[in-house]
Amino acid sequence: MSFTLSVLLLQLLSVTHSDVIQKYTLMSGSIELIGQVPNMLVKSVVWTWNKDKVAEWDKGDMTPTYYPTLNKTELNMDTWALTLSDLQPTCNGQYALQINGIETATSFQLIVLESVSGPNISTNCDQRSCNLTCQGAGIDHTEYSWTDNRGRNERGSVLKVEKTKGLDRVYTCNFSNPVSWNTSSVRERELFPPESTDANLYIILGSMGGAVLIAAAIGIAVYIKKRKVPDGEEQGGQVPGGKEPGSADEANGEDENRRFLPSQQPLQQQALQQQGIQMSRIENTDAVCEMNAMA
Ligand SMILES: *[C@@H]1O[C@H](CO)[C@@H](O)[C@H](O)[C@H]1NC(C)=O
Ligand SMILES: *[C@@H]1O[C@H](CO)[C@@H](O)[C@H](O)[C@H]1NC(C)=O
Ligand SMILES: *[C@@H]1O[C@H](CO)[C@@H](O)[C@H](O)[C@H]1NC(C)=O
Ligand SMILES: *[C@@H]1O[C@H](CO)[C@@H](O)[C@H](O)[C@H]1NC(C)=O
């Protein structure tokens, strides 16, 4: 009993239930509203707009009757569909179809919209991240989404981005309504301007410069040491041989060498231990030449 009752109630509900379908249309555009015509002999047809009649046909009429509430309306006498043209926001409202004096199950809510303009992007950044805010004109039926050139895709007007190494991202805001969309983009390079990159570059260059300076300093130090090596070797290596010539100049030379000897001895040993053989050899050659020249 109760089961049959619920079935009856459901059937009643489904009969009285009516769908309202939202229809978005671009301004100046047109739309065709196709109603649900019941499977019965059609004796009269009425389209209403917010309960006012806009088009009517009765059995026997050669043409429909139009009511001048809307700009351009046209009733299709085969399908009973209503076409509205040159739509303006003033055409917004609810459209319903009556067949044989009974409203059909489906009605339409018309919303005429302008096409959206290009949105503005405002940025709020620190050194490594940004909040990108997209702002378009109008709030009704609009939505925002963000994409980047790497496949990121997010809904909402604000996108939080992190600085990337390549600085090659392009962030695009898509501002849309159901009938149009428009985009604006911002390049990552604009968000994190070259100053910060240059600063990094300067740090790198600076440290490179420092390294060069240090290298130069070492080079000079080594060179000075090597210059001194011959003096020492003259003492250690050449002096025994130096005695052989036994010339009169020998005494003067030895005196000069001995004067420098105490301070130069440690340097000389260090130099010999630390420097490569090749370098020492070059220095020795020089030293020998100098020695010979002096002798
Ligand atoms: C996007 O918006 C801009 C600025 O409002 C406009 O110049 C441009 O024509 C629009 N593009 C499209 C495809 O509607
Ligand atoms: C971005 O917005 C969040 C809050 O949503 C805030 O905590 C953060 O500091 C903002 N970042 C910047 C760079 O302004
Ligand atoms: C976008 O920015 C321009 C220039 O500042 C401004 O004239 C326009 O009103 C802005 N549009 C929106 C939707 O904020
Ligand atoms: C922008 O958004 C609209 C609505 O979601 C979509 O139809 C359109 O393809 C999008 N355009 C781009 C370039 O992503």
Average confidence (pLDDT) over 106-131: 96
For a substitution probing ligand 3, which of 114, 120, 133, 184 has the most ligand atoms within 8 Å of its CB?
A: 120
What distance in Å separates the CA atoms of residue 23 and residue 25, rounded to the nearest whole number?
Answer: 6
Q: Is 70 exceeded by the pLDDT of residue 6?
A: no
pLDDT in tens, 179-224: 999 999 999 999 998 764 555 555 555 566 556 666 666 666 666 6
Task: Give the per-residue pLDDT at 202.
Answer: 56
Average confidence (pLDDT) over 83-102: 95
According to DSSP, the β-strands at 143-148 and 153-155 are antiparallel
User: What one-character DSSP code corresponds to residue 178?
Assistant: T
Q: Which atom of ligand 3 is nearest to the CA of 120?
A: 1
**pLDDT tier, 68 (very low <50, low <70, confident <90, very high otherwise):** confident
- Give residue 174 CA to ligand 4 midpoint distance, Å: 6
Higher pLDDT: 67 or 235? It is 67
* Nearest one of 217, 169, 224 to 191, comparing CA atoms: 169
What distance in Å separates the CA atoms of residue 174 and residue 117, rounded to the nearest whole number?
Answer: 11
Q: Nearest residue CA, atom 10 of ligand 2?
A: 131
Task: Give the per-residue pLDDT at 222.
Answer: 60
Task: Give the per-residue pLDDT at 253.
Answer: 41
Sequence letter at residue 262:
P
Task: Give the per-residue pLDDT at 18.
Answer: 73
What distance in Å separates the CA atoms of residue 280 and residue 73, rounded to the nearest whole number?
Answer: 105
What distance in Å separates the CA atoms of residue 73 and residue 61, rounded to the nearest whole number?
Answer: 17
The angle at the Cα of 257, spanning 256 to 259, to the nearest 5 degrees, equals: 70
Q: Could you tell me if 27 and 88 are in contact, meaning their C-beta atoms sit under 8 angstroms apart?
A: yes
Task: Give the per-residue pLDDT at 141.
Answer: 93
Q: Nearest residue CA, atom 4 of ligand 2?
A: 131
Cβ of 126 less than 6 Å from ligand 2:
yes
**pLDDT tier, 72 (very low <50, low <70, confident <90, very high otherwise):** confident
Task: Give the per-residue pLDDT at 162.
Answer: 96
Ligand 1 neighbours, Cβ below 6 Å, are 115, 117-118, 182
Q: Could you tell me if 78 and 128 are in contact, meaning their C-beta atoms sit under 8 angstroms apart?
A: no
What distance in Å separates the CA atoms of residue 169 and residue 189, rounded to the nearest whole number?
Answer: 8
Q: Which atom of ligand 2 is nearest to the CA of 125?
A: 13
Q: Which atom of ligand 1 is nearest to the CA of 182?
A: 1
Task: Give the per-residue pLDDT at 281.
Answer: 35
| Burial (Cβ within 10 Å: 0-12, 13-18, ≥19) of residue 112 | buried
* Nearest one of 135, 111, 110, 108 to 121, comparing CA atoms: 135
Higher pLDDT: 68 or 36? It is 36
Is the pTM above the cut of 0.85? Answer: no
Task: Give the per-residue pLDDT at 198.
Answer: 54
Q: Is 70 exceeded by the pLDDT of residue 90?
A: yes
Q: Nearest residue CA, atom 5 of ligand 3?
A: 120
Angle between helices 277-294 and 249-274 (to 10 degrees): 170
Q: Which atom of ligand 2 is nearest to the CA of 126?
A: 13
Ligand 3 neighbours, Cβ below 6 Å, are 120, 135-137
Task: Give the per-residue pLDDT at 138.
Answer: 86
* Cα 23 versus chain centre, distance: 35
Least confident of 93-102, 115-124, 256-265, 278-287: 278-287
Q: Nearest residue CA, atom 9 of ligand 4?
A: 181
For a substitution probing ligand 4, which of 159, 176, 183, 185 has the most ligand atoms within 8 Å of its CB?
A: 176
Q: Is 50 exceeded by the pLDDT of residue 258?
A: no
Task: Give the per-residue pLDDT at 150.
Answer: 95
Q: Which atom of ligand 3 is nearest to the CA of 117?
A: 13
Q: Which residues contact 120 (CB under 8 A, 6 or more apart)?
A: 134, 135, 136, 184
The DSSP line for 114-172 is PPPPPPEEEEEE-SSEEEEEEE-S--TT-EEEEEETTS-EEESSEEEEE--SS---EEE
pLDDT in tens, 277-294: 333 333 333 332 333 334
Q: Token pair of 205, please?
A: 């260059």
> 173-187: b or e for each residue (b if 16 or more CB lie within 10 Å)?
bbbbbebbbebbebe
Q: Token pair of 241, please?
A: 């041989």
Cβ of 142 less than 6 Å from ligand 4:
no
pLDDT in tens, 8-59: 454 444 445 579 999 999 999 999 999 999 999 999 999 999 999 999 999 9
Q: Nearest residue CA, atom 11 of ligand 1?
A: 182
What radius of gyration, in Å, describes the C-alpha atoms of the chain? 48
Average confidence (pLDDT) over 77-98: 95
Q: What is the mean pLDDT of the chain?
A: 76
- Give residue 27 CA to ligand 3 midpoint distance, Å: 22
